[in-house]
Amino acid sequence: MGDKWSVLVIGILSHGPLRFGTLHQRVPGVSQRMLTLTLRHLERDGIVTRTAYAEVPPRVEYELTALGESLRGTVHALAQWVTDHNDEIETARHQYDTR
């Protein structure tokens, strides 16, 4: 649950429940397939709930559970660290790839 996509999804859902389509727009660079897998893993781990509303058209929402809420601070710190050190990571990756 600490992988890049999980960190982003948990961060975005920490502002409230969202539909798949909205989540897909707000998580930069994620494919629909990866978002589906990430949400399924988070649901399986008890971090997120998936609620389907019997409406026409059908509406499905994803929401952090209490367990997911308790992870928010840690995930935010990890996301912040990645943001703060992004340049160093990109530099390291370039050096590694051009060795």
CB of 54 to a copy of itself, least distance (A): 18
Instruction: Name which of 97, 75, 67, 94 is nearest 10 in CA terms.
Output: 75
Question: Under the criterion CB under 8 A, does residue 83 sit at the interface with a copy of itself?
Answer: no
Site for a copy of itself in 12-51 (CB under 8 A): 43-46
**Which stretch in 13-21, 24-32, 51-59, 86-94 sits in contact with a copy of itself by CB under 8 A?**
86-94
Residue 51 to residue 79: CA distance in whole angstroms: 27
Instruction: Name which of 30, 44, 95 is nearest 12 in CA terms.
Output: 30
Residue 66's Cβ-side half-sphere holds a number of Cα atoms within 13 Å equal to: 0
Nearer to a copy of itself, 56 or 97 (CB): 97
Nearer to a copy of itself, 21 or 85 (CB): 85
Contact 61, 53 (CB under 8 A): yes
State the residues that interact with a copy of itself by CB under 8 A. 1-4, 6-7, 43-46, 67, 70-71, 73-75, 77-78, 81-82, 85, 88-89, 91-93, 95-97
